[in-house]
Copies of this chain bind each other. A is one copy, B any other.
Amino acid sequence: MLGQMQSHPLLISNLLVHAERHHAEQQIVSRRVEGDIHRYTYKDLAARARKVAKALAALGVTPGQTVGTLAWNGYRHMELYYGVSGSGAVLHTLNPRLHPDQVVYIADHAEDQVLCFDATFLPLVEAVAGRVKTIKHFVLMTDRAHMPAASKVPNLLCYEELVEAQDDRYAWPQFDENSASSLCYTSGTTGNPKGVLYSHRSTILHAYAGALPDALNASARDVILPVVPMFHVNAWGLPYAACMVGAKMVYPGAALDGKSLYELFESEKVTMSAGVPTVWQGLLAYTEANNLKFSTMNRTVIGGSACPPAMMALFQQKYGVQVLHAWGMTEMSPLGTVCTLKPKHLAMGADERMAVQAKQGRAVFGVDLKIVDGDGNELPMDGKASGELLVKGPWIVSTYFKGEGGDPLVGGWFPTGDVSTIDADGYMQITDRAKDVIKSGGEWIGSIDLENIAMAHPAVAMAACIAAKHPKWDERPLLVVMKKPGAEVTRDELIAFFEGKIAKWWTPDDVVFVDAIPLGATGKMQKNKLREQFKDYKLPTA
């Protein structure tokens, strides 16, 4: 027997309609690539998104076709989030940090019909324009005054002209909520990037779950500045949650340095932000150097990589900014877990509470987690057993776009490639990437713990721990360190720094100093490159 409730599809356009009716005057503020601060309202966003939908139709885009973007976080990108998906087309956010060859591969694979891009990326688009096969229209996201006098891109169109040529009379189409809404490719550290095709249903459910008090806790009283990019992992769903709750949004554009971010946090009275640890390093370096405080920011969500404990302590204890550790993946829309506390944790001392906050947190409702051993048997939730993390839920990938790489699921679960523990309260903690685990004498050593300890040393800017070959133990930990400018520390001092902080046999066998640690397109350390670089490294213990 079926229920007798109204049948309404969960559509992304509903978010915009809701925001326009309930938060018409709420602001969206953007630092533009053009250099100035742009400011308008949800009412303006809604009208412009309708114009975008009409402009794309005028360019010949039909429902189900893909529209690519290469853009920073800003209001025009948000218009495309809604205008493209709302009209039934598919928003394909390309990551401009990828190699041009990968951009060409992805644009072709996705069969993008139109590519909208910020002026920053004109050189990249010029480099690929002659190579991509399906893109019929290149649209520079600026006004006529900022269009280049000449460009190697054929028939370069002006976004503002296209949009403003339309009126805003447009009714969002209604269709199956399982229709594709957007597409994002994994960063693809090995092999070709693979596409994750989100649906309207998955996006709305993800926005509901992500806005909950125990997730990002987004409300109409928040001012949210997402540093996490709209060109990757959907800015953790914040551009969607924004319309759901009517938060003021502040988009930083291309200026992600500490000074620019800090000024925007203060001038726009930002209450909440979200980003990867490397961004916060720049921000905190700036505030530390200039003896500054945050006037309004009360929390920041940190994900993408584990947040170094030293950074968490600094944010919370010195700046009064609560850190919410979070974890997710492109394949998960991306939110999986957020580390919000239970009442018993609030009663703990600062150190004990920090140990809980070091975990990536509890699953938001909708996501199921489990850890399994090498044979696929579920391991206990005791905070000790460590195994590969598997996930399932309505905003988690079932297959990659065009069936790339076959069926990724194992018995209905998606294997994340992360190794983690889960405690009895449901708090998950990543101990390593499956491929980064150091297998010493049949036991596993988690590289992340070692890195966190090293990063707490005042002379260390960044540290990676990788497996080096060992004749007796198979693998032993090798610590690769990038020092802070002007700082000095020796190998022996760093080795001694681990004493008492970890089981003795986990201590790295050696330390090497490098000028730079390679970072991938999403700001994560590329340990595969380090493993390649040090594949013949001879440990002193060997």
Residues of A within 8 A of B (CB): 1-8, 10, 14-15, 17-18, 21-26, 64, 90, 176, 178-181, 196-202, 205, 208-209, 211-214, 217-221, 244-246, 248, 333, 340-343, 346, 362-363, 365, 368, 381, 392-401, 409, 412, 414, 424-426
Contact = CB atoms under 8 A, between A and B. Distances in A.
B343 A221 contact: yes
Nearest to A177: B3
Contacts of A5: 178, 197-199, 201-202, 333, 394-398
B2 A199 contact: yes
Given A3-B198, A212-B211, A365 B180 contact: no
A218 B213 contact: yes
A4 B397 contact: yes
28 contacts: A1-B197, A3-B197, A3-B199, A4-B400, A4-B401, A5-B394, A5-B395, A6-B397, A6-B398, A8-B392, A8-B394, A10-B205, A14-B365, A21-B368, A21-B381, A21-B426, A22-B425, A23-B425, A24-B425, A208-B365, A212-B244, A214-B245, A214-B246, A220-B340, A220-B342, A221-B341, A221-B342, A245-B365
A15 B209 CA distance: 13
A1 B220 contact: no
Nearest to A370: B21
Contacts of A21: 363, 368, 381, 426
Contacts of A393: 6, 8
Contacts of A205: 10, 208
Contacts of A398: 4-7
Contacts of A208: 205, 208-209, 212, 365
Candidate in A2, A244, A248, A333 with the most chain B CB atoms within 10 angstroms: A2
Contacts of A180: 1-4
A190 to B, nearest CB: 21
Contact of A426 (B3, B23, B392): B23
Nearest to A22: B426
Candidate in A4, A205, A393 with the most chain B CB atoms within 10 angstroms: A4
Nearest to A333: B5
A1 B402 CA distance: 11
B3 A424 contact: no
Contacts of A23: 425-426
Contacts of A248: 343
Contacts of A333: 5
A395 B365 CA distance: 19
A2 B365 contact: no
Contacts of A220: 214, 340-343
Nearest to A344: B25
Contacts of A213: 211-213, 217-219, 245
Contacts of A209: 208
A341 to B, nearest CB: 7
Given A217-B213, A221-B342, A196 B22 contact: no
Given A5-B396, A212-B219, 9 more contacts: A5-B199, A17-B368, A18-B368, A21-B368, A25-B424, A208-B208, A212-B213, A213-B218, A244-B365
Contacts of A176: 2
